[in-house]
Amino acid sequence: MRLYEYEGKEMFKQYGIPVPRGIVVNTGEQARQAAVSIGKQVVVKSQILGGGRGKAGGIRVAETPKEAEEIAQQQLGMELMGYKVNELLVEEKLDIENEIYMGVTIDDVSGMPIAIVSAKGGIAIEEVARENPESIASSLVDPMYGLRGYEAINLVSQTRMTGKALASASSILCQLYKVFESYDMRITEINPLVITTEGRLVAADSRCEIDDHSLFRHPELEKVAVDRIQDFWEREGAKAGANYVGLGGNIAVMANGAGLAMSLLDMIDYKGGHAGCFLETGGGLSRERMKKGVGLLLRKAKSDPRIKVILVMARMMMSPPDAVAEGFMEAVNEVKVAIPLVAVMRGRESYQKRARELLKGTGIKLYLSVEEGVNEAVRIAAK
Ligand code: GDP
Ligand code: MN
């Protein structure tokens, strides 16, 4: 999960990394007041979950509170790089002498954290890596020990910084590593780390991405993670505790298990069909899971005329067939939509039988063979 700039800066602050004085606002009037309370020139920064805002016009300097208000009014509600701007960060403007880059991420090759610094800040590091690779210095970090002071100094000194700036930048890098580690981040970046004309070092931007697999360790962030998923149906899927992937064809697919879902997609493909989306609910199917999953695909079908058929596959090893059938029917009775339903019920022999008995006469086309079920779904979709 990506964090907003102001959220990352809040974490930086907790770890002693200097950040500009700033206030988050969502109206023009609040922006004006923020500029008044900061009491000098400010930068008005659109808060979106993507970088490169500077170039796209999402970062503007305001000389006066009145101007901050005007800029805020222009930016709020604006669409910037595919994101709607709902919040702004109004910050004291820094007088920039120099901009450098520092970041911590995971090195794909070694699987270890890697600390990276570059004298070329303010530009995306990917771009620097292409155009000026010689300006980048990096060092793998042993996660047992963390980033040690001398390692940080060694690394930062490769940017030709000396004296107080070197000491200050090195200690910021150590703290940045601690932020990275404490929040289980995949990437933690300060770009640019500004050296002001008075010689202060300040983190002018933050880019932080938390590894979604560790969100359970950060319950306060886990709560907001789902709301941040951009795509409506993906978000609905996550709310249902499942994984939804949109695919663009006309067969909506659900299966309890990612491998199972992928195999179904593969077979649909092989039979000349086109999956419209798939929903993977995870292994154990409860009544609730079944209801939420089928309900989601029914709602999708209701709102998207491209979907011609829903194919549900349940493999019941531990999942009780009564719960599976009940959840299925609860969804069908709740979300009324005229769409053909094909279901493949597999798993333990007694479970298959029981589920088919329970669903008989409901209008759902029931199959024991995966191939036959897929054939039927593809046939309906091709009509
Ligand atoms: P990004 O484009 O989304 O990465 O947004 P940044 O926050 O990194 O800002 C982009 C650029 O705007 C920076 O590299 C700076 O050159 C400039 N900028 C940001 N904040 C300030 C500031 O306080 N003062 C000045 N003079 N420039 C700033
Ligand atoms: Mn930046």
Q: Is the pLDDT of residue 52 over 90?
A: no
For residue 160, what is the domain's CATH number? 3.30.470.20
Residue 54: CB within 6 Å of ligand 1? yes
Q: Which of 185, 176, 230, 192 is nearest to 211 (CA)?
A: 185
Nearest CA to ligand 1 atom 14: 122
238 lines ligand 1 (CB under 6 A): no
Mean pLDDT of 332-341: 96
In the chain, what percentage of residues exceed pLDDT 90? 92
Contact between 357 and 331 under an 8 Å Cβ cutoff? The reply is: no
What integer pLDDT is reported at residue 51 of this predicted model?
82
DSSP notation for 151-205: HHHHHHHTTT--HHHHHHHHHHHHHHHHHHHHTTEEEEEEEEEEEETTS-EEE--
**At 209, is the pLDDT very low, low, confident or very high (cuts 50, 70, 90)?**
very high
Same domain, 222 and 263: no
Number of domains in the chain: 3
Q: Does any ligand 1 atom lie closer than 6 A to the CB of residue 320?
A: no
Same domain, 136 and 247: no
Whether 245 and 219 share a structural domain: no
Is the shortest distance between the CB of 57 and ligand 1 below 6 Å?
Answer: no
Which of 184-198, 223-237, 310-324, 334-348 shows the lowest per-residue confidence on average (mean pLDDT)? 223-237
Q: Output the CA 153–ligand 2 centroid distance in Å.
A: 23
Please indicate, yes or no, whether residues 105 and 77 belong to a single structural domain of this protein. no
Q: Report the CATH number at residue 369.
A: 3.40.50.261
Nearest to 325 by CA among 341, 311, 345, 350: 345
Lowest mean pLDDT among 19-28, 103-112, 278-287, 320-329: 278-287
For residues 3 and 133, state if they share a domain.
yes
Nearest to 383 by CA among 248, 257, 251: 251
Ligand 1 atom with the smallest distance to the CA of 56 is: 2
Provide the domain limits for residue 245. 231-381
The set of catalytic residues is 101, 189
pLDDT digits (tens, 9 = 90+) for 342-376: 999 999 999 999 999 999 999 999 999 999 999 99
Distance CA 177, CA 161 (A): 19
Angle at the Cα of 81 from the Cα atoms of 78 and 87, rounded to 5 degrees = 45
Q: Give CA torsion, residues 283, 236, 364, 367, to 10 deg.
A: -30
Q: How confident is the model at residue 229 (pLDDT cuts 50, 70, 90)?
A: confident
Residue-wise DSSP of 207-239: EEEE-GGGGGG-HHHHHHHGGG-SSHHHHHHHH
Question: Residue 160: pLDDT band by 50, 70, 90 thresholds?
Answer: confident
> Where do runs of H (alpha helix) occur along the chain?
5-14, 28-38, 53-56, 65-75, 125-131, 149-157, 163-182, 219-225, 232-239, 258-270, 287-303, 321-334, 349-359, 370-382
Q: Looking at the structure, tell me whether residues 214 and 265 fall in a common domain.
A: no
Phi-psi region for residue 77, left (φ > 0), alpha (ψ -120 to 50) or beta?
Answer: left
Task: Tell whether the model's pLDDT for residue 96 goes beyond 90.
Answer: yes
Cβ atoms within 10 Å of 297's Cβ, excluding its own:
28
Token representation of residue 143:
């996660």
Using pLDDT thresholds of 50, 70 and 90, give the confidence band for residue 73. Answer: very high
Choice from 12, 92, 194, 196 to test ligand 1 binding pocket (greatest atom count within 8 A of CB) = 194
Per the structure block, which two tokens stand in for 278? 């798939």
Closest atom, ligand 1, to C-alpha of 207: 4
Q: Which ligand is nearest to the CA of 189?
A: 2
Same domain, 80 and 106: no
- Listed residues 228, 251, 283: the one ending a domain: 228
Domain's final residue, options 228, 248, 279: 228
Atom 27 (ligand 1) nearest CA: 94
Whether residue 51 has its Cβ less than 6 Å from ligand 1: yes
Clarify whether residues 181 and 280 are in a common domain: no
Q: In this model, does residue 117 exceed pLDDT 90?
A: yes
> Domain boundary residue among 193, 212, 228?
228
Same domain, 251 and 139: no
Question: Are residues 194 and 313 located together in one domain of the fold?
Answer: no
**Atom 25, ligand 1: residue with shortest CA distance:** 94
What pLDDT band is residue 230 in, cutting at 50, 70 and 90?
Answer: confident
The C-alpha angle with vertex 18 and arms to 12 and 24, in degrees rounded to 5, equals 65
Same domain, 142 and 186: yes
Q: Is 205 found in the same domain as 265?
A: no
Is 246 a pocket residue for ligand 1 (Cβ < 6 Å)?
A: no
Distance from residue 62's CA to the centre of ligand 1 (Å): 13
Say whether 341 sits in a helix, a strand or coil: strand
Residues 6+ apart with CB under 8 A from 307: 250, 251, 252, 276, 277, 297, 300, 301, 339
161 CA to middle of ligand 1, Å? 21
Give the ligand 1 atom nearest the CA of 93: 23
CB-ligand 1 contact for 94 (6 Å cutoff): yes
